[in-house]
Amino acid sequence: MYGGFLGNILTRVMIWMLCGLKCLSFGLNSFMIPSFWFAYISTHSFIYCRLVFAISSPPHYKIEYYFLATAHIAVLMMNYVEHTYAGTQNESGDEQLHLDIDSDNAVFAAIRASQVFWIAASEETPVETNVGPASGLATGNMFSLGFDPLDGSSIIDANFSVGSIFGIWPGKGVLGRKGSEQVASAVAVHGPRTTLCIALGASAVSTQKPIVLEVTLVHNRHTWELSRDAIHIQDEGKVFAPGNLRATNDNPQYNALVQHWISNRYTLRYSGGMVPDVYHIFAKSKGVFSNVSSEKAKAKLRLLYEVAPLGFMVECAGGVTTHEAHDQSVLDIPIEDLDQRLGVCFGSAKEVALYKQFMFTNGGATKK
C-alpha cells in the first residue's frame, strides 16, 4: 500500500512533519524506506512515542509498533537518585532493582497499548505472557516480543550507559523460534543522549534490503529526531570489546585471541554493558564484541532477550555473528528455553573470521 513512489513521498512528508526539517540535512532524497515513519504525542510530563512502520508489500503486512517505552524509561531513569534493590529476584535468581521492575512495567504498558502484540517475555518476566487485545479484537498481523528492559543493571549506579533491547517476531510466541525470523529489533541506549536504533529486516522494507537507523530523543525528551539514516558495519576494524575476560584463565583459545588483539594494537572499548559495547560498533561502523565462556566462567547472555535482537541488528547492518564455540550465526539457534544462555562474537566480518580462526581450529572449542 505504501510502496513505490507514493509511499516515498508520504514517508518523507511524515518524517519532515514529525522529525522536523532537520531530516533534510540527512540527505533524505536518497532515503529509501517507504515503510517507515514516526509519530509522537506529548502530554504534560508523560511522553508518548509511537513508532509506526508499515510493510509495503504485500499491503496486508502492515504492522504497528509502539515504542513509548524508551521515552518512558528515559524519564524514569532521569528521576532515580539511588539504585536500590527491590528485595526480589527474577526467575534466573538475579537481584532486581526497583528500576528493573519499573522499566519492565513501562514496556509491558506500552506494548499492551499498541494492541499489535500477542505475547511478550522479558528478563524480568520470563514467561510467555499474553499481552494481546481481548479475543475477537485482534486485527491484522500480530507479533511477539522478547525484551530486556534494563541491560546493565550492575553498572547503572556508576552512571555508565545502559540500554533496553527488543526483538520482534511475527505471530504468536517466541519459544521454538529463531532470531532470523524476527521482522525487526530495536535497542535503546541511555547515555548522555537517549538513542533508539532500529533494525528492519528484508521482509519489512520494500527494497528487500535490511536497514538500521537511529533516532535521538531531544527537546527535553519530547521529540525524536532522526540521527543516522543508515548504519553499516565495515569489514574490518581494530576495536575490541572482550566480554567475560575472566574466562581467559581457563579458556586458552580465548586467551590467545585476546593476546592477539593486544599485541596488534587493537583499541579497547569495553564498558561492561552489552548494549553500549555492541552499540559502539554501530557508532564507529567497525569492531568486534565477544562474550566467551569457560568451565569456570559460565555464559551469561540470554539468547531471547539480548543475543537474538542485537545479533539481528548486527547482521542487518552488514556485520557477522557466531556462537562462541562453533561456526553458526546466532540467528540460526532455536530458542528452546526462555533463559537459554550462550557465548557469542559479533562485529566486522574479518574480525569475526579471525575470532573463528582462533577459537575453532587447532583443537579449539568443542562445546555445544
- Per CB under 5 A, residues contacting Mn ion are 123, 148, 150-151
- Indicate the Cα dihedral angle 26, 31, 35, 38, nearest 10°: 10
Which residues, numbered 243-262, are part of the site for ligand AHG (CB under 6 A)?
243-244
Which residue, 123 or 181, has its beta carbon nearer to Mn ion?
123
Residue 273 contact, options Mn ion, ligand AHG, none, Cβ 5-8 Å cut-off depending on partner type: ligand AHG
Counting contacts by CB under 6 A, is residue 124 touching ligand AHG? no
Cβ-based nearer residue to Mn ion, 25 or 159: 159
Judged by beta carbon distances under 5 to 8 A according to partner kind, the member of Mn ion, ligand AHG, none in contact with residue 300 is ligand AHG
- Residue 196 contacts ligand AHG per CB under 6 A: no
Least Cα distance to 106 among 138, 143, 132, 67 occurs for 67
Q: From the CB of 307, what's the least distance to ligand AHG, in Å? A: 10
CB of 241 to Mn ion, least distance (A): 15
- Residue 181: other Cβ atoms inside 10 A: 20
In 3D space, the residue among 85, 54, 89 whose CA is nearest the CA of residue 156 turns out to be 85
Q: Which of 34, 47, 68, 123 binds ligand AHG (CB under 6 A)?
A: 123
CB atoms within 10 A of CB 9: 12
Name which of ligand AHG, Mn ion, none residue 236 binds, using a CB cut-off of 5 to 8 Å depending on partner kind. none
**Closest to ligand AHG by CB, 152 or 237:** 152
Q: How far apart are the first and last CA of the chain?
A: 45
- Residue of 151, 229, 315, 351 interacting with ligand AHG (CB under 6 A): 151
Rank residues 36 and 240 by Cβ distance to ligand AHG and give the closer one: 240
Nearest one of 180, 285, 163, 199 to 236, comparing CA atoms: 285
Name every residue whose Cβ is closer than 8 Å to that of residue 263 and which is 6 or more positions away in sequence. none
Minimum CB distance to Mn ion, residue 356 (Å): 25
Judged by beta carbon, residue 196 or residue 274, the one nearer ligand AHG is 274
Residue choice 104, 148, 315, 324 for contact with ligand AHG (CB under 6 A) = 148
Kindly state whether residue 152 participates in binding ligand AHG, applying the rule CB under 6 A: yes
- By beta-carbon proximity to ligand AHG, the closer residue of 123 and 351 is 123
Count of residues in contact with ligand AHG, rule CB under 6 A: 14
Return the closest-CA partner of residue 300 out of 275, 274, 278: 274
CA distance 355 to 357: 5
Cell of 55: 510493510
Name the phi and psi angles at 354, rounded to 5: -65, -40
By CB under 6 A, residue 271 contacts ligand AHG: no
* HSE (side-chain half, CA atoms, 13 Å) at 183: 23
Residue 324 is a binding residue for ligand AHG (CB under 6 A): no
Identity of the amino acid at 350:
K
Exposure letters 108-147 (e unless 16+ CB within 10 A, then b):
bebbbebbbbbbbbbbbbbebbebbeeeeeeeeebbbbbb
Residue from the set 35, 103, 153, 253 that interacts with ligand AHG by CB under 6 A = 153
Least CB distance to Mn ion at residue 125 (A): 11
In the block, residue with C-alpha cell 585471541: 257
* Comparison of 327 and 337: residue with beta carbon closer to Mn ion: 337
Interacting residues with ligand AHG (CB under 6 A): 94, 123, 148, 151-154, 243-244, 272-274, 291, 300
